[in-house]
Amino acid sequence: MPDHDTIAAIATAPGAAGVGVVRVSGPAAPAIAAALLGRAPRPRHAHFADFRDGEGALLDRGLLLYFPAPASYTGEHVLELQGHGSPVLLDALLRRACALGARLARPGEFTERAFLNGKLDLAQAEAVADLIAARSATAAHAALASMEGVFSRRVEALLQALVALRVHVEAAIDFPEEEIDFLADPAIGARLDALRADLAALLHEARRGVRLNDGLRVAIVGRPNAGKSSLLNALAGSERAIVTAIAGTTRDVLREQVDLDGIALELADTAGLRETEDPVEREGVRRAHGELQRADAVLLVTEAAHAEADLALLDALPPTAARLVLVNKIDLDGAAAREETRAGLPWLWLSARTGAGLDALRARLRALAGATGGEGAFSARRRHVLALERVAVHLDRAAEVLAATRAGELAAEELRQAQHALGEITGVYGSDDLLGAIFSSFCIGK
């Protein structure tokens, strides 16, 4: 439900800067503008103005811009007051706007209003936050695409196809004497199959969108002394992890953010996975297992002599994580860096110490992060992927019951739930809790 009060916030980052902006949105915006300007503001015009406090003392001198509803970011009357980027001045300007009828905005409240006024859908609103928070050029590019609606339009197209199919199935239910014929129509099955194929493709791209957005989460596993910490350091180009020749030194999960030519990697060096009595070390092992469950990719670091035996370490991993086997320390036996596929897994021979083979590893990581393979990439969030996965489950079940029993009611219910899950992505369906959780993670002033 749109609020009818007026909100204000400093929209620029805290700290001293050349320019700072106080943003105001809501019905009182034109009156606040008129009070500051001494006359009615002209829409979309840069007024040079003296900003004065209630006693008429000069606060700052700057630009005042007025965007009448609905052609504004929030869809409401919006005012932008551009002053000098001093936290003290901007604070005074903000307090002046509040004295004239605004209240302080909550984090994300401008974008929340834009969403509630239909200026952007929920996935686009989330992309605004992701764009602001983007840690790499690739991530920013992808977030921009989602903000422009690239992802939302794909979801919308699926939603329309789903609704059309529902209409068809519901119609069959409404004419029970013909239901069997209706549902036996191969066209229904074919349309459902096409929908599932489109969904699978979108899910694939959305997962990639999450990796682009969050960065690729890479867990490094292997027995103690295999060279995990050395590899982390080699990739990160720093001496962050403790490298020693004593087994079990890495007693916790070490995380490192690495920018690999514009893609964010989050590398986690897990403690050596082995049974241990040492409680500190055991805690490390426990955390390592948690780290594995949320990894997008797992690097198994091993050495030539242990490689086959160490493969067992991969058994406990989530099926969605990509795996690479890294045969480290090739400098010791003079082997050449190379790549090979064994039993369906990519194996890379390398040396964390000399750096041999690391370029091949970086190329693999870039590919896994979704940075290769083209244009049209959009950002997405885990929430979206989870929703798409639920849609897939419902569509699979719908196909099953249709094929097995031709039970129209059951299929219709699955399709209804699929539609609901899909609609959560763009916010067609959404709870206040969901909206609260999403917008409260924004920065203030956006």
From the annotation, which residues make up the binding site? 23, 80, 119, 225-230, 244-250, 269-272, 351-353, 446
Q: Find which of Zn ion, ligand GDP, none residue 148 binds, CB within 5 to 8 Å per kind.
A: none
Q: What angle do CA 61, 66, 72 make, to 5 degrees?
A: 140
Binding site members for (6S)-5-formyl-5,6,7,8-tetrahydrofolate: 23, 80, 119, 446
Q: Decide whether 25 or 225 has the Cβ nearer to Zn ion.
A: 225
Torsion 393-396-397-398 (CA) sign:
positive
Q: Output the known binding site for GTP.
A: 225-230, 244-250, 269-272, 351-353
What letter does residue 336 receive in the DSSP assignment? Answer: P
Of 100-108, 229-237, 322-330, 435-443, which part binds Zn ion (CB under 5 A)?
229-237
Shortest separation between residue 320's beta carbon and ligand GDP, angstroms: 24
Cβ closest to Zn ion, residue 237 vs residue 436: 237
Q: Which does 328 bind (CB under 5 to 8 A by kind): Zn ion, ligand GDP, none?
A: ligand GDP
Other Cβ atoms within 10 Å of 328 Cβ, number: 27
Q: Where are the alpha helices (DSSP H) in 311-407?
A: 330-333, 358-368, 382-404
Q: Which C-beta is closer to Zn ion: that of 124 or that of 225?
A: 225
User: Which partner in ligand GDP, Zn ion, none is near 426 (CB below 5 to 8 A by kind)?
Assistant: none
CB of 264 to Zn ion, least distance (A): 22
- What is the SS3 string spanning 234-297? HHHCCCCCCCCCCCCCCCCCEEEEEEECCEEEEEEECCCCCCCCCHHHHHHHHHHHHHHHCCCE
Instruction: State the nearest-atom distance from the C-beta of 214 to ligand GDP, in Å.
Output: 25
The minimum distance between CB 241 and Zn ion, in angstroms, equals 6
Nearest approach in angstroms of CB 229 to Zn ion is: 3
Residue 11 interaction partner, one of ligand GDP, Zn ion, none, beta carbon < 5-8 Å per kind: none
Which stretch in 199-207, 223-231, 344-352, 353-361 sits in contact with Zn ion by CB under 5 A?
223-231
CA distance 404 to 138: 46
Four-CA torsion 424, 428, 432, 437, nearest 10 degrees: 50
Contact call for residues 125 and 116 (beta carbons, < 8 A)? no
Residue with tokens 């490298």: 243
Element at 417 (helix H, strand E): helix 408-426
Least distance between ligand GDP and beta carbon 292 (Å): 15
Would you say 7 or 226 has its CB closer to ligand GDP? 226
**Using rule CB under 5 A, residue 250 touches Zn ion:** yes
Sheet holding 297-303, edge to edge: 254-260, 263-269, 216-221, 297-303, 322-328, 345-349, 338-342
H/E/C letters for each residue in 78-114?
Answer: EEEEEEEECHHHHHHHHHHHHHCCCEECCCCHHHHHH
Q: Are 33 and 82 in contact (CB under 8 A)?
A: no
- Report in angstroms how near the CB of residue 248 gets to Zn ion at its nearest: 8
Give the interface with ligand GDP as residue ranges (CB under 6 A). 222, 224-230, 243-245, 249-250, 272, 328-329, 331-332, 351-353
Contact flag: residue 225 with Zn ion (CB under 5 A): no
Nearer to ligand GDP, 134 or 243 (CB): 243
Complex with ligand GDP: residue 122 or 352, whichever CB lies closer: 352
User: Taking the chain, what is the end-to-end CA distance rounded to the nearest angstrom?
Assistant: 19
Side by side, which strands form the sheet with 78-85?
47-52, 58-67, 78-85, 17-25, 7-10, 103-104
Of residues 78 and 236, the one with the C-beta less far from Zn ion: 236
Q: Pick from 12, 229, 233, 302 the residue near Zn ion by CB under 5 A.
A: 229
Q: Can you give the binding site for Zn ion, defined by CB under 5 A?
A: 228-229, 250
